[in-house]
Amino acid sequence: MTAKKARVAFFCSDCGATAPGWLGRCPGCGKFNTMVEAPAAAAPHRARAAERPAARALTLSQIPADQLDRWDTGFGELNRVLGGGLVPGSLVLIGGSPGIGKSTLLLQAAAALAGRGKQVLYATGEESAGQLALRARRLGIADPRLRVIAESDLAQIFSAADGCELLVLDSIQAVFHPDVPALPGTVSQIRECTAQLVDWAKPRNTAVFIVGHVTKEGALAGPRLLEHMVDTVLYFDSDQQLFHRIIRAVKNRFGATNELGIFRMVEGGLEEVSNPSDLFINQRPEPIAGTAVAAVMSGSRPLLCEVQALGVPTVFGNPRRVASGIDYNRLLMILAVLERRAGIPVSTRDIYVSVTGGLRVSDDPGADLAVALAVVSHLRDRPLPVGLAAIGELALSGEILPVLGGETRLRESAKLGYTRAVGPARHMGDKHPLPYAGAYNLHAALAAAELLTKGGTDA
């Protein structure tokens, strides 16, 4: 009887890409004659599958509906994005540009959880333990319950994390599993290491923070499967010229995905921004034409932001439209409504619209009216009244439609010192915390914002 032939795998000695058979050219890096043959060990999760007991299906009534226990991460903004706090046994993937503060945020959160009695291990595969200690001293972190290991071998990390309640892995592209014949950061390594983390963390009810690299387009590097395997995916981003950082959830099995967390980078690390609206509104002694304040909703949180508009005569046949912070097609629709329903000439001008502070309000139609007011204010060279906030969705018919959270937006405007507001006439409640001008259509809204001359359309 012939002996059973051992399974083999082929991988690139240069980039680590794998293939089911020998190839003359690597499918990963495109180089020739770099594929080498090596024994392929059985995948660890497959090897353990035979040792598990047979699964038994249960009815929904037989499954206890446990109340989720959430941990305070020390940052109210991070808790908000996570859905109220960190859930034990969950895997949270956080990505962002290099140097934006991912490691700083997680080190501060790990120290806060360690200070609350949790056993925490911070595993770094990209820095030495001394480099991490230098950052910790700069941030004023010295909790003895926060342990650090500089290791890339996932098996060694699991051994050191035995008994921990929180594991921070920085980063998934830097670690490797010894049973996978590929270099760290390759698709096969990232896939297997993430599967190992899921199998290890869920039975132990250990929460895991995973740092992920991003591509130059801003998407998380590695296979898309990585985002499907974890419970929560967070993006940490900012404009290079700004000091604040914005964290967003694009996937969350334990909460909403439309929340924002806002931080400011200071000398002692990241700190929360208690009043985010101050970041997005430029305080100036006198009003300027072409600016309007929009009351928008970011998840369950109301925010006030400044919309700026600029219109110049077009040089070429087709006028140019540039949108920053709002949806481009939405801007085209607003300009078309202004031209057709209000008689505002925009077809012969290049129009530039921007939301200050790097905020994006593409998903909130409640900023439509503020965009329209800013455009008209600049074209008429008339500043809007001081202390005016705008709320409302603009319909193709020129009507001002109500939006969700109208009363909440009004309360936030009054809290920040705004003295009047303009918005839809319907479904805004009877009690307003500040003087409110309800408008059924765009013409009435322009009149309430004092952008029309008395007795005419000023078109």
User: Where do we find the tokens 């952008």?
Assistant: 451
pTM of the model: 0.72
Neighbours of 177 (CB within 10 A): 20
- CA 16 from chain center: how many Å? 31
Q: How much of the chain is in helix, strand and coil states, percent to nearest 5?
A: 25, 25, 45
325 and 444 share one domain: yes
Q: What is the DSSP string of 263-291?
A: EEEETTEEEE-S-THHHHS---SS--TTE
- The whole domain housing 408 covers 279-448
Ranges assigned E (strand) in 43-193:
91-96, 120-124, 146-150, 166-170
| % pLDDT > 70, the chain | 90
Residue 50 included in any domain: no
Tell me: pLDDT of 105 over 70: yes
Give the CATH number for residue 99: 3.40.50.300
Supply 86's token pair. 């960190």
d(CA 347, CA 356): 25
Let me know whether 231 and 286 are in one domain. no
Would 2 be classed as within a structural domain? no
Same domain, 444 and 351: yes
- 284 with 303, same domain: the answer is yes
Q: Which of 255, 274, 293 is the last residue of a domain?
A: 274
Q: What is the mean pLDDT of residues 66-76?
A: 85
Provide the number of structural domains found in the chain.
3
pLDDT bucket at 153, cuts 50 / 70 / 90: very high
DSSP E strand boundaries for 177-223: 207-212
Q: Is the pLDDT of residue 458 over 90?
A: no
Note the pLDDT of residue 52: 61
211, part of any domain: yes
Domain of 441: which CATH number? Answer: 3.30.230.10
Asked, for residue 242, whether it belongs to a domain, the answer is yes
Whether residue 455 is contained in a domain is answered as: no
Pair (289, 358) in one structural domain: yes
More confident residue, 44 or 367: 367
What mean pLDDT comes out for the span 91-115? 92
Q: Are residues 286 and 260 part of one domain?
A: no
> Per the domain annotation, does 370 fall within a domain?
yes
- The answer to whether residue 1 sits within a structural domain is no
Based on the fold, state whether residues 36 and 117 are members of the same structural domain: no
Structure tokens at 141: 């972190």
At which of 219, 244, 274 does a domain end? Answer: 274
* b (16+ CB within 10 A) / e for 193-223: bbbbbeebbeebebbbbbbbbbeeeeebbbe
Query: Could you read off the pLDDT of 400-449 as tens digits, one per residue?
Result: 999 988 888 998 888 888 999 999 998 776 778 889 999 999 999 999 99
248 and 311 in a single domain? The answer is no
pLDDT at 457: 42
Tell me: do 138 and 203 sit in the same domain.
yes
Q: Which of these, 321, 342, 378, lies nearest to 458 by C-alpha position?
A: 342
Kindly state whether residues 298 and 424 are assigned to the same domain.
yes
Pick from 127-136, 156-165, 260-269, 288-297: least confident: 260-269
Peptide bond into 171 cis (omega under 30): yes
> What average pLDDT score do residues 173-180 get?
90
**Over residues 317-334, mean pLDDT:** 94
Last residue of a domain, one of 274, 291, 317: 274
Residue 197: pLDDT over 60: yes
At 356, list the tokens: 């200050």
Residues 6 or more apart whose Cβ sits within 8 Å of residue 6: 39
Determine contact, residues 186/15, Cβ cutoff 8 Å. Answer: yes
Look at the block and give the residue holding tokens 């008395």. Answer: 454
Q: How far apart are CA 242 and CA 265, in angstroms?
A: 9
The Cα–Cα gap between 43 and 188 comes to 11
Assess whether 346 and 410 both reside in one domain.
yes
Whether 251 and 288 map to the same domain: the answer is no
Rounded to a whole number of angstroms, the CA Rg of the chain reads 27
Task: Provide the pLDDT confidence category of residue 309 given band limits of 50, 70 and 90.
Answer: very high
Confidence check: pLDDT of 389 > 50: yes
Domain membership flag for residue 52: no
C-alpha 42/C-alpha 48 separation (Å) is 10
Q: What is the token pair recorded at 227? A: 């985002």
